[in-house]
């Protein structure tokens, strides 16, 4: 018979925002979409912002766009090119952060960088699995293993937020869904290991208006990507990318929900879209009901996802 472990119930430390201000916020994937919104929100709440991303040019644009907000808040911005799927690259990020902020605690770690796609579990090639797992799972693990021991040794309040997805808590689809389930599992495991010393959260959003659909732009050559210089210049616009931008929720909504959760101690951050309320909750419930009642995997219909993926539905008029 297996040994029963009775652990003390512990609390998701309430890392009150005012205690995090003055510290460093590291956001992977911070140059675009949800990550950019997280950096902006952290900076306006008085944290120094580290924009850690694989896209060097986008980092520069993000730094330029956020410099006024950082100046107004009296904090610094640091852009750093990193490939989170490489442990060596993440170690380089850690060195850069330590050199720039030698005496300042890391108060927020957002393991947010991620890539879409990958295909179905039957159609994905070995290299597709490696790419999407490399960024969405190993990328989170690399950052957690590198930064969380430092955060624990600081004896200061701190929060860790990973970005999973609605795809991480509903019945999974495709390689992406597999990795987003793994991200939730990794974050749950982390929560149990830090035992309340830091607050831990996982963000699970519905569709967000970001650049996620064009994730191939960030595919490293070692995972089958095409070097930027060698890419054809006449790549056609992707209609789904446009629809995510048109119908998805604002990335700033995700950032606001993250900071609300840090304040309240909420672990699972179900980021519902305003025009599809309750959907992420329903997806999780549908999966749990199937597990507990000998059901089959299925997903409820989403108004928002239908608008995003059904090309027959016209785009909203631009004002
Ligand atoms: N957009 C959505 O609808 C949605 C929904 C749920 C979850 N998510 C998740 O949100 C997170 C952020 O994505 P987004 O939607 O803002 O997309 P995005 O493409 O706008 O931003 C992702 C950022 O991650 C960076 N990145 C990609 N690979 C990287 C790597 N190897 N190392 C470092 N940085 C890397 C990209 O350059 C980009 O700046 C992802 O984990 C994604 O899976 C997105």
User: Is 286 inside any structural domain?
Assistant: yes
- Counted domains in the chain: 1
Per run of 10 residues, the mean pLDDT along the chain (length 319 residues) is 46 76 97 98 97 98 98 98 98 98 97 96 97 98 98 94 98 97 98 94 97 93 89 80 95 97 95 96 97 97 93 85
Q: What is the pLDDT of residue 6?
A: 45
User: Is 1 inside any structural domain?
Assistant: no
Q: What is the pLDDT of residue 7?
A: 47
Distance of CA 98 to CAs 78, 91, 290, Å?
11, 11, 47
Which atom number of ligand 1 is nearest to the Cα of residue 251? 16
Pocket flag, ligand 1, residue 112 (CB < 6 Å): yes
b/e sequence 186-223, b meaning 16+ C-beta within 10 Å: bbeebbeebeebbbbbbbbbbbbbbbbbbbbbbbbeeb
Three-class SS of residue 277? coil
Distance of CA 6 from the midpoint of ligand 1 (Å): 37
User: Is 282 inside any structural domain?
Assistant: yes
Distance of CA 201 from the midpoint of ligand 1 (Å): 17
User: Is 265 inside any structural domain?
Assistant: yes
Q: What is the pLDDT of residue 233?
A: 76
Q: What is the pTM of this model?
A: 0.95
User: Is 6 inside any structural domain?
Assistant: no
Q: Are 130 and 223 in contact (CB under 8 A)?
A: yes
Q: What is the pLDDT of residue 81?
A: 98
Question: Which residue segment(s) compose the domain that 183 sits in?
Answer: 17-225+236-309
User: Is 161 inside any structural domain?
Assistant: yes
Q: What is the pLDDT of residue 2?
A: 43
User: Is 12 inside any structural domain?
Assistant: no
Top mutation candidate among 31, 35, 175, 271 for ligand 1, by most atoms within 8 Å of CB: 35
Q: What is the pLDDT of residue 205?
A: 98
* Alpha helix ranges (H) inside the chain: 17-20, 33-44, 56-73, 87-100, 126-133, 139-153, 174-194, 239-247, 251-264, 279-292, 303-309
In this structure, the residue with its CA closest to atom 22 of ligand 1 is: 29
User: Is 247 inside any structural domain?
Assistant: yes
Q: What is the pLDDT of residue 19?
A: 83
Q: What is the pLDDT of residue 3?
A: 44
Q: What is the pLDDT of residue 28?
A: 98
Give the CATH number for residue 140: 3.40.50.720
């Amino acid at each position: 018979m297996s040994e029963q472990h009775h652990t003390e119930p512990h609390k998701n430390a309430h890392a009150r925002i005012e205690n995090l201000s003055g510290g460093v916020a590291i956001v992977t994937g911070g140059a675009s979409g949800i990550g950019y919104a997280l950096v902006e929100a952290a900076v306006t709440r008085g944290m120094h912002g580290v924009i850690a991303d694989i896209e060097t040019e986008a980092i520069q644009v993000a730094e330029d766009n956020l410099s006024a907000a950082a100046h107004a808040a009296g904090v610094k911005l640091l852009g750093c090119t990193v490939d989170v799927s490489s442990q060596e690259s993440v170690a380089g990020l850690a060195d850069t952060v330590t050199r720039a902020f030698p005496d300042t605690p890391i108060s927020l770690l957002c393991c947010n960088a991620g890539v879409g796609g990958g295909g179905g579990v039957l159609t994905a090639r070995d290299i597709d699995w490696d790419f999407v797992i490399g960024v969405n799972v190993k990328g989170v693990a690399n950052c957690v293993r590198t930064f969380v021991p430092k955060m624990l040794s600081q004896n200061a309040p701190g929060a860790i937020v990973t970005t999973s997805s609605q795809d991480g808590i509903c019945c999974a689809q495709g390689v992406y869904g597999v990795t987003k389930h793994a991200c939730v599992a990794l974050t749950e495991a982390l929560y149990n290991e830090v035992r309340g010393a830091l607050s831990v959260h996982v963000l699970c959003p519905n569709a967000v208006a970001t650049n996620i659909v064009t994730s191939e732009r960030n595919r490293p050559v070692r995972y089958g990507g095409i070097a930027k210089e060698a890419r054809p210049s006449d790549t056609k616009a992707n209609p789904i990318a446009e629809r995510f931008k048109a119908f998805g929720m604002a990335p700033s909504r995700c950032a606001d929900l993250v900071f609300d959760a840090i304040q309240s101690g909420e672990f699972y951050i179900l980021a519902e879209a305003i025009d599809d309320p309750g959907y992420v909750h329903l997806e999780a419930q549908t999966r749990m009901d199937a597990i507990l009642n000998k059901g089959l995997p299925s997903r409820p219909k989403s108004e928002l996802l239908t608008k995003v993926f059904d090309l027959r539905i016209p785009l909203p008029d631009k004002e």
